[in-house]
């Protein structure tokens, strides 16, 4: 285990590169059979907007470019955090001899904690796994990062069990304002023509007051919601609909078709709907 401490120290150094760019501090190196670093990498998901930009992936890619081959037999992947499923699969595909890591990741790790992809006998390649090298130092580095994140923002950017930031939920009034064209005035990504086009679509105060009750009801538990008929959303009692009060978008042929409709049938958008009372009487 001691033979990999120097390599892990370098991986911890590269993890700080990720921290400086706002990424979770995870670093990795690939060393050859003589202990020389042939590939290095750190987490670049945020900086490069790359969902696959984990430290292990970046280190394996650089090692392949250095050695001019994809097959990394004889090499060792050293990483500060237990590899996830994606990175464990990449390690298997690269044919490295072993994986050495520092901190365990009990919620996303795939090297012995949550699952053990690296030593699965069903795979076409197996390798050695050495955990816990400078594990205390790696854990402290990660926890310090997330502690700083908790003090500055509530946005989750982490990975695995150590990424447990609270999620900030905006109030309903703020969500309703997102649909208001006026909220776009401060955005540099909206052109003047877009703003002009939005002016004609500006909602009225009445539409805003209608939206909020619906959003409040959607946020309530199902057991606490009022029944639709109590909110006037569904007609619970059928009344006769005079011809003059029918909806204006119902076509004339449809009106003629349903002329003389009995009182227990209501016409909605040209479709005859019988009342609940009529259905109970029939069935």
- pLDDT-based confidence at 152, cuts 50/70/90? confident
**How many angstroms separate the CA atoms of 156 and 174, rounded?**
20
**Residue given tokens 């394996």 in the structure block:** 60
- Residue 200 structure tokens: 């004609």
- pLDDT-based confidence at 280, cuts 50/70/90? very low
pLDDT higher than threshold 80 for residue 199? no
Return phi, psi of residue 65, to 5°: -70, -35
**How many angstroms separate the CA atoms of 191 and 189, rounded?**
6
Q: Which helix (H) or strand (E) holds 45?
A: helix 45-48
Bigger pLDDT: 4 vs 254: 4
Looking at 20, 46, 56, 229, which residue is catalytic?
56
Average pLDDT over residues 75-97: 97
What tens digit of pLDDT does each residue of 28-39 get? 999 999 999 999
CB contact at 8 A, 195 and 184: yes
**How many angstroms separate the CA atoms of 230 and 264, rounded?**
20
What is the C-alpha end-to-end distance of the chain, expressed in Å? 78
pLDDT higher than threshold 70 for residue 193? no
Average pLDDT over residues 119-124: 91
Task: Establish whether 216 is a catalytic residue.
Answer: no
**How many angstroms separate the CA atoms of 65 and 62, rounded?**
5
**75 marked as binding residue:** no
DSSP state of 264: T
The contacts of residue 6 (CB under 8 Å, 6+ apart) are 35
Instruction: Return the minimum-mean-pLDDT range out of 17-21, 120-124, 248-252.
Output: 248-252
pTM of the model: 0.55
DSSP state of 246: S
Closest CA to 40 of 21, 25, 55, 20: 55
**54 marked as binding residue:** yes
**87 marked as binding residue:** yes
- pLDDT-based confidence at 255, cuts 50/70/90? low
- Helix, strand, or coil (residue 27): strand
Looking at residue 67, what is its pLDDT?
97
Looking at residue 100, what is its pLDDT?
98
Q: Spell out where the chain has E strands.
A: 27-31, 37-42, 76-81, 98-103, 128-130, 265-268, 271-274
Average pLDDT over residues 180-207: 43
- Domains belonging to the chain, first-starting first, are 2-162 (3.40.140.10), 169-225 (no CATH), 229-283 (no CATH)
pLDDT higher than threshold 80 for residue 68? yes
Average pLDDT over residues 209-225: 49
Give the chain's mean pLDDT.
Answer: 73
């Amino acid at each position: 285990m001691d033979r990999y401490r120097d390599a892990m120290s370098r991986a911890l150094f590269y993890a700080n590169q990720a921290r400086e760019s706002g990424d979770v501090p995870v670093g990795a190196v690939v060393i050859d059979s003589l202990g020389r670093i042939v590939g290095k990498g750190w987490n670049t998901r945020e900086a490069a907007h790359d969902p696959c930009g984990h430290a292990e992936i970046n280190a394996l890619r650089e090692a392949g470019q250095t050695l001019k081959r994809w097959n990394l037999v004889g090499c060792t992947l050293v990483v500060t955090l237990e590899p996830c499923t994606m990175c464990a699969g990449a390690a298997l595909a690269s044919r490295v001899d072993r994986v050495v890591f520092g901190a365990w990741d009990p919620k996303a790790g795939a090297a012995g904690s949550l699952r053990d992809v690296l030593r699965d006998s069903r795979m076409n390649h197996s390798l050695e796994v050495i955990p816990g090298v400078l594990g205390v130092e790696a854990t402290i580095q990660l926890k310090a990062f997330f502690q700083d994140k908790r003090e500055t923002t509530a946005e989750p950017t982490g990975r695995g069990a150590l990424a447990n930031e609270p999620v900030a939920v905006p109030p309903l009034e703020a969500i309703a304002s997102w649909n208001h064209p006026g909220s776009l005035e401060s955005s540099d990504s909206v052109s003047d023509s877009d703003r002009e086009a939005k002016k004609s679509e500006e909602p009225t105060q009445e539409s805003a007051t209608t939206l909020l009750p619906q959003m409040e009801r959607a946020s309530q538990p199902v057991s606490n919601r009022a029944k639709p008929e109590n909110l006037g959303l569904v007609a619970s009692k059928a009344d006769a609909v005079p011809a003059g009060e029918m909806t204006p978008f119902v076509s004339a042929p449809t009106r003629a078709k349903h002329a003389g409709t009995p009182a227990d049938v209501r016409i909605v958008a040209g479709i005859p709907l019988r009342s609940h009372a009529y259905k109970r009487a029939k069935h």
